[in-house]
Amino acid sequence: MNNNPRLRTFIFLMVVSFVIIVLQQTVFNFKFFDNRKPELFTMLIINYAFWEEEKCRGYFFSSLTGFFEDVLTNRIFGLNIILKSTVFLCIVYLKDKIFVNNFLFKSLVSVVIIFLELVVVHFLSTVFSFYAFSPFGENVWGYLLINLATAPIFIFFLDKLYKRFVVINES
């Protein structure tokens, strides 16, 4: 087993990103969800900001995630790059000052940040008359509810998987 935590973290992030892409392209396209997809990439970046000590590597990952989300979602190119990078930098800056590293607090922070992210996207889409790019049209509450429902579950399992596959027990 390789004892390089950077490599294990990289592999873990790539596997989780692949699973997120598969979930968003299959499960969350069902009629049950009414084409409302939770912001799993934003939740992953928020968790990653709590794990990562090196800001440059984390900023690169969040920018790369935003790039791939821009390519996959067919929205305004560059918007997700800016949003995901800003989310990462805000969490890294504030995590030592006011944030607590437990899954309930991270779930709450995720929902608040996702709501702010959705408001920014909606504001930009209405200001620039790109209604087709607005992620929720007129129904903000549906997106907020699906993120509120999925954030604790996703973050709980993400923390458990991270501790299981990436963090080495010293005992």
What pLDDT score was predicted for residue 45? 92
What pLDDT score was predicted for residue 3? 73
Convert 56-65 to b/e letters by CB count within 10 Å (16 or more is b). Answer: eebbebbbeb
What pLDDT score was predicted for residue 71? 83
What pLDDT score was predicted for residue 85? 92
What is the pTM (predicted TM-score) of this model? 0.84
What pLDDT score was predicted for residue 130? 60
Residue spans of the domains in the chain: they are 5-26+36-165
Quote the DSSP letter at residue 75.
S
Which segments in the chain show pLDDT lower than 50? 1, 170-171
What pLDDT score was predicted for residue 171? 42
Question: Do residues 135 and 143 make contact, with C-beta atoms less than 8 angstroms apart?
Answer: yes
